[in-house]
Chain A
Amino acid sequence: MSMRRIGILLSKDLSLYFRKRVIVYLTFIGLIFYLVIYFVMPSSVDETLKIGIYTQTAIPVISELDEQGLEIAYASSQKQLREEVISGNYTAGVSIPEDVMQPSDPDKKPVMTLYFAPDAPEEIRDAMEFFVKEMIFLQMGQPLPLEVSEEILGQDMLSTPIPTRDRLRPLIAVFILIMEIFGLTYLISEEIEGRTAQALLSTPATSSDIFMAKSISGIGLAFIQAVLIMTIVGGMNRQPFIVLVSLFLGAALTTGVSFFISVKARDFMSVLSWSFPVLIILIIPSFSVIFPGALTGWVKAIPTYYLVDTVHRAANFGSGWGDVWVNLLILFGFTALIFWAGLYVLRRKFQ
Chain B
Amino acid sequence: MSDHAILVEDLYYSYGKIIAVDHISFRVARGEILGFLGPNGAGKTTTINMLTGQMKPQGGRAILLGMEVSKNVKKIKEYIGVCFETTNLYEQMTAIENLILFARLYGIQSFDAIALLKRVGLQGREKDRVQTYSKGMKQRLMVARSLVNSPEILFLDEPTAGLDPASARAIHDIILQERKRGATVFLTTHDMMEADKLSDRVAFMNQGKIVALDTPLNLKRQYGKRALQAKVVTAGGNLEDREIELDKEETAEKVKNLFSNENIATIHSREATLEDIFIKITGRGLAG
Contacts and interface: CB of A to CB of B under 8 A. Distances in A.
Interface of A: 4-5, 8-9, 12, 15-16, 19-20, 194-196, 198-206
Given A5-B105, A8-B101, A16-B93, A203 B77 contact: yes
B90 to A, nearest CB: 6
Those 6 A-B pairs whose CB atoms lie nearest each other, nearest first: A195-B88, A202-B82, A203-B105, A199-B88, A8-B104, A19-B92
B22 interface: no
Residue with the highest number of chain B CB atoms closer than 10 Å, among A8, A20, A198, A202: A202
Given A202-B77, A203-B105, A15 B91 contact: no
B107 A196 contact: no
Contacts of B89: 196, 199
B77 A198 contact: no
B246 to A, nearest CB: 46
Interface in B122-145: 145
Contact of B106 (A15, A196, A203): A203
B90 A16 contact: yes
Interface in B174-216: none
A194 B78 contact: no
Given A16-B92, A200-B105, A203-B77, 10 more contacts: A8-B104, A15-B93, A15-B97, A19-B92, A20-B92, A195-B88, A199-B84, A202-B54, A204-B107, A206-B74
Given A12-B101, A16-B92, A198 B145 contact: no
27 contacts: A4-B107, A5-B105, A8-B104, A8-B105, A9-B105, A15-B93, A16-B92, A195-B86, A196-B89, A196-B90, A198-B84, A198-B88, A199-B82, A199-B84, A199-B88, A199-B89, A199-B102, A199-B145, A201-B54, A202-B52, A202-B80, A202-B82, A202-B84, A203-B105, A204-B106, A205-B105, A206-B74
Contacts of A194: 88, 90-91
B213 to A, nearest CB: 25
A19 B129 CA distance: 11
B154 to A, nearest CB: 12
A19 B97 CA distance: 13
A268 to B, nearest CB: 13
A195 B85 CA distance: 11
Interface of B: 52, 54, 74, 77-78, 80, 82, 84, 86, 88-93, 97, 101-102, 104-107, 145, 149
Contacts of B145: 199
Contacts of A4: 107
A204 B52 contact: no
Nearest to B56: A351
Nearest to A197: B88
A17 to B, nearest CB: 10
Contacts of A8: 101, 104-105
Given A8-B105, A203-B77, A205-B105, A196 B92 contact: no
Nearest to B91: A194
A198 B54 contact: yes
Contacts of A203: 77, 102, 105-106, 149
Contacts of A202: 52, 54, 77, 80, 82, 84
A278 to B, nearest CB: 26
B95 to A, nearest CB: 14
Contacts of A205: 105
Contacts of B88: 194-196, 198-199
A242 B28 CA distance: 62
B77 A204 contact: yes
B183 to A, nearest CB: 16
A172 to B, nearest CB: 30
Instruction: Give the residue among A9, A196, A200, A206 with the most B Cβ atoms within 10 A.
Output: A196
A23 to B, nearest CB: 13
A107 B131 CA distance: 89
B269 to A, nearest CB: 44
Contacts of B84: 195, 198-199, 202
Contacts of B52: 202
A225 B58 CA distance: 46
Contacts of A20: 92
A194 B78 CA distance: 23
B90 A204 contact: no
Contacts of B101: 8, 12
Interface centre among B82, B84, B101 (most CB of A within 10 A): B101
A273 to B, nearest CB: 23
A194 B106 CA distance: 21
A19 B89 CA distance: 15
Contacts of B106: 203-204
A203 B74 CA distance: 8
Contacts of B54: 198, 201-202
B206 to A, nearest CB: 26
A195 B157 CA distance: 14
A168 B54 CA distance: 49
A204 B86 contact: no
